[in-house]
Structure 1
């Protein structure tokens, strides 16, 4: 799968830009702050409905504009599709496929698939659990697009349950009044059912990606130690993979935590509070790995994601956003050698020298809002 044309309107710094793309390597080169990352960010947005740089859509719309449009022509084998997203901050986003009538934005998931490397990836190793949960859930959704609906359902149920718990906590603090919490049992069931589906997908993913991450780390840092990924649930004991078993465990954990949840007014159990413990050898990478080891670990996770998706039959677009400038010469050359055979590789760099020779291909110069092929 590869993108053959990218079109942006009022996205980030671009009032309008058209970028034809070829298979193989394409590098966007230019000084920082000129819009290189904006281009690959748009491709990533089509794949995940989110940005790797910001948590909301508002910064993606050019200043002074009401909306932004991201459009891409995508080829998979002999099949071509046109996918379009309209970003409307404060209102519902809109989507179209092949210029048809409007569809839900999540219906476009799976048409464009990406694996994106960026300096922000260091947070996968050094950051808080939310970064690792996001990594898991985005990859789960890339593998199985219907999981976007499951994630949305979980967030909706969690919000409703938290609202009820907060009201109960406030009632108790002000005059010792009690509330009818019979509906909490219903929300428990909803949370456990949807949460079990999300948990099962995460656990299946970890089992699949574990050997690939270990292999990728050894390729980037030979002899640097074994990589292991350990899922750490918020309140469960030993976690099985069967959905019904996970449902029962979540229900039991919610029952055990109910008193504390009512006191604090928040849901304390569920996938939204879990973590992925990344180990290098016998020690957790967070707090123990060096800067170079942390970088190699983050890159290994992305390479493993790429290898997994490629093995499942639809090779993703590989995006390397200003990554090579962060690496020493050895890691730079090893990474470049590993990704060079990709069907489509998009690279951003401040200068030509940051792009390894093995990644020779098309070049675009990005400067002052213009994108010109050289």
Structure 2
């Protein structure tokens, strides 16, 4: 799988860009603020419908423009698929696949798959639980795009339930019966999400251990454990997990009503990362934390490859964050991927194993390195 052509209109600092890409390694060189990360951000947006840098779409639209257009020609098994996304802040985004409108943008998920390494990845180890939840959820959606709809339904039910909880302390018995109905919806959707998360995590564990051994000079054991807001039993089917959540909701009903917020569900869970006997967060050194973060991304790449269809690898300014040894090890692991897109401020940051096409990015212009010289 690779992106053969990227087209941008009013995306970030680009009024327009038309960029032909090839399989293998492509490096975008440019100082900070020139737009190199915007290019790979656009590729990631085609795959996930989200940015790795900002939580909302408004910053993606160029100043003074009302919308942005992102197009990507994706090649998989010699077949081309054209994804077109129209990003309009304050309104529903629109999507087209092979020039035909789709009913909702989520219908294009799965056409392009990417794994992105970025400086923000350190938050996978040192950051809040929502970062680790998002990593796991994005991976499971990449493997099973229908789960995007489950996540959206869960978020909608959670908002409705929280709204009701805010007034439940003064509500009538009829309103509390309405809360029972929302509990049922929340538990059912929780069961589906939990089953997918736990299955994905089970597949990740050996891959993370293998990847960590490759990128880290130490021999510490990496462990991934799921910490749930409900007491989960031994059964991990969606139905059984929904029952576990139902029981937890009943147990904490009074506390939720008192506090006016949902305290049970996948939105409260965490993936605990450990090195040896200690949690990585708070105990791992800077270098060890980077090794764990890299191992998570490499494991995600290996898992997607095992499903068929090698994802596009994106390394966004990540080499500047690594010591020389980790640079070499990471480059050696990814150099053979079908397509690798790299951004860097200076050419010296890019290991020599990643030889390929090079572009210079400056003031919103992208030129081949030979022509730029």
Quote the offset at 1:282 in angstroms.
1.2
Alpha-carbon distance, 1:179 to partner: 5.9
Task: Choose which of 250, 274, 282 in structure 2 pairs with 1:279.
Answer: 274
Looking at structure 1, the residues matched to 69 and 232 of structure 2 have their Cα atoms a distance apart, in angstroms, of: 46
Write the distance in 2 (CA, Å) between the matches of 1:139 and 1:34.
30
- 2:244 counterpart residue number: 249
Aligned to 1:188: 183
Residue in 2 aligned with 1:232?
A: 227
Contact 2:157 2:186 in 1 (8 A): yes
Alignment of 1:59-98 (within 5 A): 59-98=59-98
Alignment of 1:275-354 (within 5 A): 275-354=270-349
Contact 1:45 1:51 in 2 (8 A): yes
CA distance in 2, matches of 1:44, 1:254: 37
The 8 Å contact of residues 12 and 60 in structure 2, kept in 1 or not, is answered as: yes
Q: Point out 4+ residue stretches in structure 1 off by more than 2 angstroms.
A: 177-180, 237-240
Aligned residues: 369
Please state whether the residue corresponding to 1:156 is helix, strand or coil: helix
Supply the RMSD in Å over aligned alpha carbons: 1.1
Aligned to 1:368: 363
> Can you give the 5+ residue segments of structure 2 that lack an aligned partner in the other structure?
none
Match of residue 110 from structure 2: 110
Deviations 1:306-332 (A, max 9, x none): 011011101100000000011000000
2:351 aligned to which of 356, 359, 363: 356
Report the counterpart of residue 46 of structure 2 in structure 1. Answer: 46
- TM-score, normalisation: structure 2: 0.97
1:151 maps to 2:151: yes
1:127 matched residue in structure 2? 127
What runs of 5+ residues in structure 1 fail to find an aligned partner? none
Task: Identify the residue that residue 201 of structure 1 maps to in structure 2.
Answer: 196
| In 1: Cα distance, 2:227 partner to 2:99 partner | 44
Instruction: Judge conservation of contact 1:168–1:179 (CA < 8 Å) in 2.
Output: no
Normalising by structure 1, report the TM-score. 0.97
State the Cα deviation string for residues 61-95 of structure 1 (Å, max 9, x = none): 00100000100000001211100000010100000
Whole-angstrom distance in 1 between the partners of 2:261 and 2:355: 52
- Structure 1: how far apart are the matches of 2:234 and 2:318? 36
